Every structure is written in C-alpha cells, then in structure tokens.
C-alpha cells in the first residue's frame, strides 16, 4: 500500500553490509511514481517469507525528484509468522536532511533509536496487542479470518515506520473489478489522516495506487527500465539493500497474467460488512543511467 500518500517519500538507506536471504519471494516489482501526468520517480519493493525463521520480510526503496530536489527512502522490516513486529531499519535523505530509525520489539514494547541530521534520541513505548508494522497491511488482511474479501471493512492499529508512531487505520474493500486488465479489489485506506486508493489482487499484489487529493499515483510496471526511465539509478544501493539488483519479475504484471475479458462490474467503495483484521538511505546515490 502507498504509505500516507507518500508523505514520507524522502531518503534512502544504505545498510552496513549486504543481507543474504534464503527466503521465498512472495512479491517483487518496480512501480512508477507519477505526479499528475509527470513521471517523478520509482519504487522497488519485495516481500519475502523465511520459512526457516518463520519471518516475513518487507524491503523497499523509493526515489523521487532530480538534482537538488531528489529525495529517497528505504525500509527493511521483519515480522513473525503472525505478523507481530520484530524489528525494522528506516532511513531517509532529502537534500541536507537525513533521518534514520532503528527499532526493535520485545515483550510488547518498542525501543527505537532515532537520528535526525546526526542528533540521536530514543523512543520507548508499549505496543498494544494486535499492532503491526504498516508495511505488512495487505498480508494482515490476507491472514484475517475472512481473508481479502469484497465489501468488507478492516479496522486496525499500525506503526508508521517513518516516525515510529502508532495510528489507527481503516481499509474499505470494494467489489472485485477489472483495472488495467487485471482482476483486483479496490481498497480505500485511511491512515494518519490521509486517504488513498489501492488496486490489489487476491494475492496481495498492489497493481496501482492513488493518493487522494495529491495528484500522486503509482503503477506497477513490467520492467525496471520502465520504472527508472529518466531517473538516477544506483545498482550499488540496490545490491546493498536487496543483496542483489531485483529483477522485478515476481508479480502478475511482469508475468503478463492479465484477466480474461471482464465480466465484473466496477463499483464505488462500500463496506456494509465488518470483519476485524487480524491484522498496514544516508548518502547521496551515485547517478548511473536509468535502465
């Protein structure tokens, strides 16, 4: 899901050492970021499940803007098999402004070390039962009693990784429909006083998003070249964050698995049924040509 209409579209992370993973990839893809009709950036995202450790892993890298307006952001987050938070590292960079958060969870509490422009502070807070990292929202919906189901309301409480805060949210799932030739659910999500639409298939793959009232949208594309065209692109950063440059082919768009001719009507969002969810870098990147 797009987080808080990309209010935190800033910064990128470069971790101290590459992470080697034997986890199974649930989703991996490249998305274009558009502001109205202008292509302003891209997202590289991967979800994995480590069967040995019984952990979900979310990794993403976001870049927008060019030159002095360039902003980047990344996240590496871990949750257990029930999607209870374990830890996450978040880093952002926008001009001369930098921020990092290193958060760990234990015995119903969070301890986070936050660095703003080199000045460190510590956050300690209790985490109410059922609270999860917002990056895993779709998987919480999939794992809920009724799964991802049309005309359903999911109310939840999640941690916003960009500021280690806890906020309540709501996801309203509309009827299944066809979007860009793919069969999806249209989901209206409200989180941190922001609203955005997500078009999500029954596997939890986000095909597109629209941050309402901002003109910002994303679109999952079939190749890295389409997402990064005209944008600065660093293979070094991606290799460090993802332990290799993601191919971006583990999704229905890259695999061309479009729906058959549509028989499903489009619909506006409504949710008469309620189902509780059991469940939502710090150096300048090197400029290599966009793929």
Give CA–CA dist 197/268, Å, rounded. 11
Q: Cβ atoms within 10 A of the Cβ of 148, count?
A: 22
* Sign of the dihedral through C-alpha 209, 245, 286, 225: negative
Q: Which residues contact 215 (CB under 8 A, 6 or more apart)?
A: 35, 36
Q: What is the dihedral of CA 252, 207, 54, 109, to 10 degrees?
A: 180
Say if residues 111 and 164 touch (Cβ distance below 8 Å): no
pTM greater than 0.75? yes
Write down the pLDDT at residue 22: 63
Beta strands per DSSP E along 161-255: 165-179, 182-191, 194-200, 206-211, 216-221
Give CA–CA dist 94/90, Å, rounded. 14
Kindly give the confidence (pLDDT) of every residue in the chain, 291 residues in length, as a single tens digit, with 9 standing for 90 and above: 333 434 333 222 222 223 335 679 999 999 999 999 899 999 999 999 999 999 999 999 999 998 888 999 999 999 999 999 999 999 999 998 999 999 999 999 999 999 999 999 999 999 999 999 999 999 999 998 888 999 999 999 999 999 999 999 999 999 999 999 999 999 999 999 899 999 999 999 999 999 999 999 999 999 999 999 999 889 999 999 999 999 999 999 999 988 755 443 333 333 333 333 433 333 333 444 344
CA distances from 234 to 125, 173, 265 (A): 36, 37, 42
* Sign of the dihedral through C-alpha 263, 269, 270, 275: positive
Among the listed residues 57, 18, 25, the one whose alpha carbon sits nearest the alpha carbon of residue 249:
25
Say if residues 67 and 73 touch (Cβ distance below 8 Å): no
Give CA–CA dist 41/4, Å, rounded. 17
Q: Which segments of the chain does DSSP mark as H helices, in order?
A: 137-143, 224-228, 235-242
List the end-to-end C-alpha distance of the chain, in Å, as a whole number.
25
Say if residues 138 and 58 touch (Cβ distance below 8 Å): no
Give CA–CA dist 183/63, Å, rounded. 28
């Amino acid at each position: 899901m797009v987080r808080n209409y990309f209010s935190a579209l800033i910064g990128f992370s470069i971790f101290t050492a590459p992470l080697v993973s034997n986890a199974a990839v649930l989703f991996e893809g490249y998305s274009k970021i558009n502001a109205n009709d202008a292509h302003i950036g891209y997202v590289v995202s991967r979800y994995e499940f480590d069967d040995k450790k019984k952990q979900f892993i979310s990794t993403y890298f976001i870049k927008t803007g060019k030159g002095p307006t360039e902003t980047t952001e990344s996240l590496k987050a871990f949750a257990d098999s029930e999607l209870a938070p374990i830890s996450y590292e978040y880093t952002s960079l926008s001009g001369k402004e930098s921020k990092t958060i290193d958060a760990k969870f234990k015995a119903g509490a969070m301890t986070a070390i936050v660095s703003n422009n080199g000045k460190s502070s510590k956050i300690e807070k209790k985490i109410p039962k059922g609270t999860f990292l917002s990056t895993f929202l779709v998987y919480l919906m999939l794992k809920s009693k009724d799964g991802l189901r049309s005309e359903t309301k999911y109310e939840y409480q999640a941690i916003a990784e960009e500021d280690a805060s806890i906020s309540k949210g709501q996801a309203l799932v509309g009827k299944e429909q066809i979007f860009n030739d793919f069969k999806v659910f249209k989901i209206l999500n409200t989180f941190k006083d922001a609203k955005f639409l997500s078009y999500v298939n029954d596997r939890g793959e986000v095909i597109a998003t629209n941050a309402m009232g901002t003109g910002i949208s994303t679109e999952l594309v079939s190749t890295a070249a389409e997402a990064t065209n005209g944008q600065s692109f660093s293979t070094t950063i991606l290799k460090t964050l993802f332990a290799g440059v993601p191919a971006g082919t583990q999704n229905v768009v890259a695999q061309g698995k479009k729906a058959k001719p549509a028989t499903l009507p489009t619909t506006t969002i409504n949710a008469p049924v309620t189902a509780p969810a059991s469940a939502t870098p710090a150096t300048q990147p090197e400029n290599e040509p966009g793929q």
